[in-house]
Amino acid sequence: MPPAPPSTGGGGGARLTQTEWQTYQTKNKAFETANNKAIAKFRSCGTVAGRTTSADQYVNCMGDAPNKVISATTDLGKTLHGFHPGASSGCTTALNGYIGALDQWRSVVSAVQSSLTSAAPQSSGAAANARTQYPQVQSAAQTFTKECKPV
């Protein structure tokens, strides 16, 4: 990928460039799509789990949703790491917070995937925990947008 053009936002390089922001928006859209679908699965499959004692039925309901989230989260995290050289000030702090939230989120969803792989009875509990953790990622994304979006 060619280097991004210098920032013209007047922030002295503190914010992302337009090119970086467009890259972020593309990656973030894929991330949000994967997560919205997965969280809907976590909810609907949790209902299934409440009606059955079959771990296999729950595993089948969940499908590959956790793997898609893990992949999208990893991809977005790599993209954000690439913004470090040009970011400074409040954007760097927000960027680090967002990356940390993504790392935590990937860990939570990996626990869901791990419990599905073993068809463990606690799988639905892991997914319920994931649903409560996702707002932290959304909050970090809002701070990142506030601090890093080009002016």
Tens digits of per-residue pLDDT, 86-145? 778 899 999 999 999 999 999 999 988 888 877 655 556 777 777 788 899 999 999 999
107 belongs to a structural domain? yes
**What's the whole-number mean pLDDT along residues 29-34?**
96
- Lowest average pLDDT, out of 18-22, 43-47, 52-56, goes to 52-56
Tens digits of per-residue pLDDT, 54-90? 677 778 888 899 999 999 999 999 999 999 887 788 9
Residue type, 48: V
90 belongs to a structural domain? yes
7 belongs to a structural domain? no
2 belongs to a structural domain? no
Give the residue numbers spanning the domain of 103. Answer: 18-148
75 belongs to a structural domain? yes
109 belongs to a structural domain? yes
Q: 13 Cβ partners below 8 Å, 6+ apart?
A: 6, 7, 86, 87, 88
**SS3 of residue 11 by DSSP:** coil
132 belongs to a structural domain? yes
* Structure tokens, 139: 């909050």
Number of H helices, E strands in the chain: 5, 0
Half-sphere exposure at residue 117, Cβ-oriented, CA atoms within 13 angstroms: 8
Residue type, 141: A
Count of the separate structural domains present in the chain:
1
CA torsion sign for 78, 106, 62, 67 is: positive
115 belongs to a structural domain? yes
CB 98 within 8 A of CB 141: yes
Dihedral in degrees, nearest 10, Cα atoms 110, 21, 32, 127:
30
**pTM (predicted TM-score):** 0.81
